[in-house]
Amino acid sequence: MRHTALLASALALAACTSVRLPADTSARLDPIAFFTGRSEGHGEFHQIFAGARAMQVESNGRPTGGGRLVLTQRISQEGKSPRTRVWTIRPVAPGRYSGSLTEAVGPVTLTVAGPRAEIRYRMNGGLDVRQQLALQPDGRTLLNHLEVAKLGVRVAHVEETIRKLP
């Protein structure tokens, strides 16, 4: 009985609604421009039934023509070997982008509304990812909140600050 109550509590916490990050409401995020060149992120990865782990992401984006961007990221996470993933994104309509990600199953969608972007994709194992990026007043910093859900229940999330490097 006690295990059932603990599981119910954990699932209730995991199902919390996503947050809305603060952003510079006078700006408009251009994800292609922001991620062209080098950037780095520092944050924490939180997984259900596990503690938080520090993470660092080094990114390098290069335009490939037609408004497309290839973004290569090296992710270092406490307690794990570093890994590399590659995003490709391209504009499909004003404020809408489509693309791919090496760890995604199927397409990646990215929608921009003012200073915020929302990214959605699916991963193996029926994991749904929803990510929010929010441009900060300096124009060189993004806040990133990423949630991973399985069957509608949040099983992991990331809180990260991304900075565009000179």
Taking only the tens place, the pLDDT of each residue in 118-138 is 999 999 999 999 999 999 999
Which domain, by its residues, includes 101?
2-164
**In contact, 73 and 101? CB cutoff 8 Å:** no
Q: What is the pTM of this model?
A: 0.86
**Could you give the number of structural domains in the chain?**
1
pLDDT in tens, 19-35: 788 888 889 999 999 99
CATH of the domain at 158: 2.40.128.20
Sign of CA dihedral 91, 84, 128, 154: negative
3-state DSSP assignment of residue 25: coil
